[in-house]
Chain A
Amino acid sequence: MTTKAAPSAWRDPVALLAAPAVLYLLVVYAFPLLWLFMKSLTGPGGLTIQPYVAFLSDPFNWRVVGNTLRVAAWVTVVCFVIGYPAAFALARAGAVLQIVMLVSIILPLSVGAVVKAFAWQIVLRRDGIVSQTLVGLGLWDEPQRLLFTETGLVLGAANIFLPFMILPIYSVVKLIDPRLSEAGATLGATPLYRFTHVTLPLTLPGIVSGVAFVFSMSVSMFVIPSLLIGDRFQTLATLTGRSFLLMRNEQLGSTTAVILLVLAVSIVVGSTWLARRIGGSQT
């Protein structure tokens, strides 16, 4: 693993073991993606960006892009606000509490989106738990329906993606030596100063990957908005799905699919670069 590849490395017979999987993915996955991308850029007269110009000159589509990014941003904010302290709680919790927390984080990950989104349809009803709780706490005067509203969508999606915020942050929090903060305290730093100058910078790589995970999943979610907000609210992903499955408009669908693809790839590449830069400056 550590030695650098020798010039004769291509003759390493072990490399052949990777060939079946790589070839398989090239043929059924990479090639189709590349083809989708190329096709969206070629018109009758060769290279063209006409479909994208047409897409962006329609104000309705701007609303769709706006919906997508706004909802994804809110979901990421909610996940961060809950997930950041939760990652600390998970790292500092006693043995039993830690196991309970881990179960509640990992278990939902192996339950499908259809199941969880259906559950949120029940939770967000006018007589659902959220409404009952808020009325019970005196925050709402009367029960309200959150299902088919943007708030409901953000709440449900944040719930479903929360583990992807907690786990990356937890993976860096558990490595922080608590004595660092104590040392800061001994040297007279206030709690706020200790947080912004010691803890926060150390957890930044975890924050970057958590935010990237949640944001890119929120941008491309399909089942959750279909069930929690319905057809009147379109995002890039639901529009893509609709144009293929209902409208039979493959041109529009391919254009939005490529936009989603480019968004997702740039989030992955950008966050990897950012995390490496932050990680590199610390060591």
Chain B
Amino acid sequence: MTTIERGTQYFVWAIAGFTVVFLMTPLVVTIAVSFGSSTVFTLPPPDWSLRWYERLAGMRGLLPALLVSLQIAAVSTAVAMVLGTLCAIALVRGRFPGRETISTFLVSPLMLPGLVIGIAMLQGFKAMGLRDVYASLLVAHVVITLPYIVRTVVGALSLFDFSLIDAARTLGCSYPAALTRVLVPSLAPAFLTSGMFAFLASMDNYPISMFFTDAWTKTLPIQMLQYVEERPDPTIAAISAGLVLLAILALIVGDRLVGLRKMADF
């Protein structure tokens, strides 16, 4: 090893170490505080305790908000999966003009400010006569989840070798059977991973949801922000730790299904 190579090695380690520590700080701090006994966020905590988790059950509004978020995320992801997959098939298999434009259009909600989308929808829905909070949230969240599905399924479909379906048919499979036994299994990883991340994006959304909630129907992030503003205490860290756990599970499943490196593709 030359001096330059050794120097490069140390440089890589130093930068990598700093980046990992910096990026993980908020997550580690949240978890540490949630298991600490201190009420004033002392770090490291003077003593470990589960008191903040015990208090979760008594938090007013927490369970309803969690349920609303889970339902909205699940239903909007399911709708987006149907719409998104159909559209992805058209984009990959179709021979019509404007496919590039359509795919940019479908992914564009990820690139525009959520706040502005929320305001536009708020006024648009009003004009269309949609006033129900729950329905508005649902309709809005499909727009949040759709880009995740389209992006990943288009990617997976364009790597899929469609001659395999012809091969299966030659070997005696009917067309629907060929689809379910050849296409579906090979797309399943991309499908599940994109669904998972779409679900999380919906669960975590704040800037669009905030225009569609009222005193009775709140999503989890909206309710959490209200707790932070009213009385910040480590109970919020306990809720956060739950959400971090959900993200860790998604990461593990995603790694098993498509691999960590593939998930880093931009």
Given A35-B120, A35-B127, A114-B228, 16 more pairs with CB closer than 8 A: A10-B97, A12-B96, A14-B90, A18-B102, A28-B124, A89-B13, A97-B13, A104-B24, A106-B260, A112-B243, A119-B25, A119-B30, A120-B26, A122-B33, A167-B264, A209-B266
Q: Does B72 contact A (CB under 8 A)?
A: no
Binds B, one of A49-57, A58-66, A257-265, A274-282: A257-265
- State whether A261 touches B16 (Cβ < 8 A): no
> Which of B107-115, B169-177, B182-190 contacts the other chain?
B107-115
Q: Looking at chain B, what size class is its interface with the partner chain?
A: 35 or more
- Contact call A25/B146, Cβ cutoff below 8 A: yes
Asked if B263 is at the interface (CB within 8 A of a chain A CB), the reply is yes
Sort A-B residue pairs by CB-CB distance and give the 7 closest, nearest first: A32-B124, A112-B204, A220-B113, A119-B26, A18-B90, A17-B90, A32-B120
Query: Which listed residue (A33, A113, A268) contacts B120, Cβ 8 A?
Result: A33
Convert B179-206 into 0s and 1s, putting 1 for each residue whose CB lies closer than 8 angstroms to a CB of A. 0000000000000000001001101111
Sample (7) of A-B pairs whose CB atoms are under 8 Å apart = A28-B121, A29-B143, A33-B112, A115-B243, A223-B225, A237-B115, A260-B113
Query: With an 8 A cutoff between CB atoms, is A159 at the interface?
Result: yes
In the bound complex, how far is the Cα of B97 from the Cα of A101, in angstroms? 41
Enumerate chain B residues within 8 angstroms of A260, measured Cβ to Cβ.
Answer: 113, 115-116
Is A135's CB within 8 Å of the partner chain B? Answer: no
**Number of A-B residue pairs with CB-CB distance less than 8 Å in the complex they form:** 290
Question: Residues of A with Cβ closer than 8 Å to B?
Answer: 1, 3, 5-6, 9-10, 12, 14-18, 20-22, 24-25, 28-33, 35-36, 39, 82, 85-86, 88-90, 92-93, 97, 99-108, 110-116, 118-123, 125, 127-129, 159-160, 162-163, 166-168, 170-171, 209, 216, 219-220, 222-223, 226-227, 237, 240-241, 244-245, 250, 253-254, 257-258, 260-261, 264-265, 268
Residues of B within 8 A of A39 (CB): 123
| Chain B min CB distance to A261 (Å) | 5
**Chain A contact residues: helix, strand, loop or mixed:** helix
Instruction: State whether the Cβ of B8 lies closer than 8 Å to any Cβ in chain A.
Output: yes
Q: Does B43 contact A (CB under 8 A)?
A: yes
Say which residue of A32, A160, A250, A264 sits within 8 Å of B113 (CB atoms).
A264
| Min distance, Cβ A240 to any Cβ of chain B, angstroms | 6
CA distance A245 to B222 in the complex (A): 13
Chain B residues whose CB sits within 8 angstroms of the CB of A18 once the complex forms: 86-87, 90-91, 94, 102
B243-266 interface code vs A (CB 8 A; 1 in, 0 out): 110111011000000001101111
Bitwise, B58-102 to A at CB < 8 A (1) or not (0) is 000000000000000000000000011011011111111100001
